[in-house]
């Protein structure tokens, strides 16, 4: 699969993710789950994203 982050080729949506990513995305039904960590506070986060719209 060819994709390009700058031009948006073959990218359905893009969102900012707080902190650094620490795992692969998990896809379950129509949701994408991402984990991340805010380095300064060591706060761990779980973000749930709609697979079709990119809304959290």
The domain total for the chain is 1
- Is residue 33 domain-resident? yes
The CA-based dihedral angle spanning residues 48, 49, 50, 51, taken in that order and rounded to the nearest 10 degrees: -120
pTM of the model: 0.79
Provide the pLDDT confidence category of residue 18 given band limits of 50, 70 and 90.
Answer: confident
- Is residue 56 domain-resident? no
Residue 47's pLDDT is what? 95
The residue whose two tokens read 């692969």 is: 24
Residue 22, pLDDT above cutoff 90: no
- Is residue 1 domain-resident? no
Provide mean pLDDT across the span 18-32: 93
Q: Which two tokens stand for residue 5?
A: 């982050």
- Is residue 43 domain-resident? yes
Question: 37 lies in which domain range?
Answer: 20-50
- Is residue 40 domain-resident? yes
26: number of CA atoms within 13 Å, CB side? 10
């Amino acid at each position: 699969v060819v994709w390009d982050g700058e031009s948006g080729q073959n990218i359905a949506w893009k969102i900012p993710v707080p902190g650094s990513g620490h795992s692969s995305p998990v896809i379950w039904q129509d949701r994408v789950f991402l984990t991340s960590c805010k380095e300064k506070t060591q706060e761990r986060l779980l973000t749930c994203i709609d697979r079709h719209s990119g809304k959290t």
